Amino acid sequence: MDANSQGAAELLKALMRTAARFSEMGRSVSRDFFPHVRAEPVSDLAGPAVRLGAALALPGHDLVFETAVRVGDGTFGVRGDLVLDGEEEILVLPSVEIADPLACADLLDRYADELLTPARWHVQRLLESCEADS
């Protein structure tokens, strides 16, 4: 297998791993905070771009964790964000252009870590604010 094929295979593995990690986080948070949290996967392939993540529905709020990889002319663009109620950007990871698919796979793993690590804390904080408002 040549270097380009190996890089493409590693990037595909990273995309599959990212989708699985977001799905597991959504299931876990939904299970732990049942019946207050519902989770849906974010999975979209549109032309040269793929979006992966999880959308969590809480009482009065929506929380969307998302990464995206876009294939450009010899490069990959990677971004990630956490958005509350479709408007408030809680966490925005920098958009990065990378030519190396292995580096893209590594960055995608890192962005998933950075988005998933605080997930439970954000859900807990939002649920507590809902209870305080009641």
Residuewise pLDDT in 10s, the chain (134 residues): 676 678 888 899 999 999 999 999 999 999 999 999 999 999 998 889 999 999 999 999 999 999 999 998 889 999 999 999 999 999 999 999 999 999 999 999 999 999 999 999 999 999 888 776 65
Closest CA to 56 of 21, 81, 22, 90: 22
Give me 34's structure tokens. 């049942």
Please give the pLDDT value at position 74. Answer: 87
Q: Residue 120 in contact with residue 29, Cβ under 8 Å?
A: yes
Closest CA to 76 of 1, 2, 5, 8: 8
Q: Report the number of distinct structural domains present in the chain.
A: 1
pTM score: 0.91
Range of the domain at 65: 3-133
> Angle at the Cα of 68 (from 112 to 18), degrees rounded to 5?
35
